[in-house]
Structure 1
Amino acid sequence: MLDDFVTRAVLAAIGTALATGVLGCFVVWRRMAYFGDATAHAAILGVALSLAFSLSVFAGVLAVSLAVALLVFALSGRGVALDTLLGVVSHGALALGLVAVSLVPGQRIDLDAYLFGDVYLVSETNLAVIWGGALIVSLVLWRHWTALLTATLSPDLAHAATINPRREQLILTLLLAAVVAVSIKVVGALLITALLIVPAAAARGMARTPEGMAVLATLIGVMSSLGGIALSLRYETPAGPSIVCVAVALFAISTVVSRLRA
């Protein structure tokens, strides 16, 4: 079954949606969208380093994404406005990555595949990485759900419950870097944040509990992935942008439905 490239594409897209669905809720709740952009843009630098040192793309992207995420985490709250810091890191990492890719000797690199994703080129090894990453992210979120939710709702309440909000933020930071590394083959570095934010934003207006929003965001992410691939196959459009377009359409529908209910 896995010899069929469409089947591999569908499985990869669903695995990515499972990894981004619940985590995206925390990104929306904590307003970490720009942080996601900074981490995702750094992925291009990871691609360049992996090619230069003959490493797997996943390993290079994960290493650089983790480094950038930890750098932003360490510098936040130290005299520089967070939005300014994220802007510098985001655009600086992307520019440095594009320059580094052009300097890699003896390599002909299809940048579009890393910027916008190419789910049809996913291999069985990529599938194992995507589903393994999705499983790890889901398990960590399930294990720390109460602590993460409490720290998100109120740092003071978290302190009262002997929860360290800074530690929970670090966990989210590391998970976000892992999701970036997992998702780059599906939607690319420029669209990863959209797959985190849009399904969660679509679910927010229709869910009544945080748990309900997490489940609904995951379902919307899966529907967006399947719809985007179907759209791509039907009209020969790029798969990654098509997935995001379907997600945005579902967000628009959910917004209208929520207002009619209100």
Structure 2
Amino acid sequence: MLDDFFLRAVLAGLAVVLATGPLGCFVVWRRMAYFGDATAHAAILGVALALGFSISIFIGTLVVALVMAMTVAVLAGRGWAMDTTLGVLAHSALAFGLVAVSFLPGVRVDLTAYLFGDILAVNRVDLAVISGGAVLVAGLLVWRWSALLTATLSEDLAHAAGLHPARERLVLTLALAVVVAVALKVVGALLIAALLIVPAAAARALARSPEAMALLAVAIGAAAVLGGLRASLVWDTPAGPSIVAVAAVIFAASLPLGVLARAGARP
């Protein structure tokens, strides 16, 4: 059954949204959108280093994403102006990655696949890595859900409950780096942040609790994957951008639906 490339693409996409759904909620709640973007852009530098040292693309991407995420977390803890810092880091990492790829001798690299994803080319090994990473992140978020939510709502409340907000930020940082590494093959570096943010933003307009928002974000992400892949198959459009485009359409539809739902809930 897994010899069917379209089935592998569907399974890979669904595995990714299993992780990006709940993680995207924390990205939205904590206003970490640019943080995710910077980490995703650094993935291209990871690809270049992986090819240069002849190691796994996944390992190279994960290491660079972790370094970027930890750097941003440390700078944020020291009070740096994060909008400017993230802008510099995000675009610098992307530029250095693209330049580094051009210096690789005898290596032909299809940068489009890494920038925008190539989900239809997912093989069995890719599927195993993507699924394993996504399940790991989803399990981590379920395990730390209460602590992460408390630290997100109020650091003072977290301290009062005996929690360490810095540790919970580190959990999110590590989860984000893993998601970037596994999602690179699916939607590419330039669209990973969209897959994190758009389904969660659509879910926020409709959900009435944090848990409901996380589950709804997964459902919206799954609908975007299925709809985007179907559109790609029918109209011969790029799969990664098609997935994000469907997610954006769902987000646009969620806004009036959310207004109507809130109006109907009023006494």
Identity of aligned residues (%): 65
* Aligned counterparts of 2:69 and 2:186: Cα–Cα separation in 1: 21
* Aligned counterparts of 1:140 and 1:243: Cα–Cα separation in 2: 25
* Aligned counterparts of 1:150 and 1:52: Cα–Cα separation in 2: 42
Give 1:111's aligned amino acid.
L
What is residue 249 of structure 1 aligned with on the other side? 249
What is residue 195 of structure 2 aligned with on the other side? 195
* Aligned counterparts of 1:122 and 1:253: Cα–Cα separation in 2: 30
* Aligned counterparts of 2:36 and 2:179: Cα–Cα separation in 1: 10
* Aligned counterparts of 2:146 and 2:201: Cα–Cα separation in 1: 21
What is residue 178 of structure 1 aligned with on the other side? 178
Secondary structure in 2 matching 1:42: helix
Give 1:67's aligned amino acid.
V
* Aligned counterparts of 2:13 and 2:24: Cα–Cα separation in 1: 15
What is residue 238 of structure 2 aligned with on the other side? 238
Residue by residue over 1:77-133, the C-alpha shift from the partner in whole angstroms, topping out at 9 and shown as x without a partner, is: 324201111111101100000000111111111000000001011010000011101
Runs of 4+ in 1 over 6 A off after TM superposition: none
Matched, 1:108 2:105: no
Residue by residue over 1:128-151, the C-alpha shift from the partner in whole angstroms, topping out at 9 and shown as x without a partner, is: 011101110011111100000000
Gaps of 5+ in 2: none
* Aligned counterparts of 1:69 and 1:16: Cα–Cα separation in 2: 19
* Aligned counterparts of 1:195 and 1:227: Cα–Cα separation in 2: 14
Residue by residue over 1:151-170, the C-alpha shift from the partner in whole angstroms, topping out at 9 and shown as x without a partner, is: 00011100100111111011
Q: 1:1-262 counterparts in 2 under 5 A?
A: 1-261=1-261, 262=263
Secondary structure in 2 matching 1:132: helix
Give 1:25's aligned amino acid.
C
Gaps of 5+ in 1: none
- The Cα shift of 1:213 comes to 0.3
Secondary structure in 1 matching 2:80: coil
* Aligned counterparts of 2:138 and 2:9: Cα–Cα separation in 1: 21
* Aligned counterparts of 1:260 and 1:204: Cα–Cα separation in 2: 14
Report the TM-score, using the length of structure 1 for normalisation. 0.99
Give 1:19's aligned amino acid.
A
* Aligned counterparts of 1:225 and 1:164: Cα–Cα separation in 2: 36
Secondary structure in 1 matching 2:207: coil
- The Cα shift of 1:190 comes to 0.1
* Aligned counterparts of 1:75 and 1:110: Cα–Cα separation in 2: 33
- The Cα shift of 1:242 comes to 0.1
CA RMSD of aligned residues (A): 0.7
CA pair 20-79 structure 1, distance change in 2 beyond 3 A: closer
* Aligned counterparts of 2:160 and 2:181: Cα–Cα separation in 1: 35
Give 1:87's aligned amino acid.
G
- The Cα shift of 1:73 comes to 1.0
* Aligned counterparts of 2:115 and 2:128: Cα–Cα separation in 1: 21
Secondary structure in 2 matching 1:18: helix
Secondary structure in 1 matching 2:90: helix
Report the TM-score, using the length of structure 2 for normalisation. 0.97
Aligned residue pairs: how many? 262
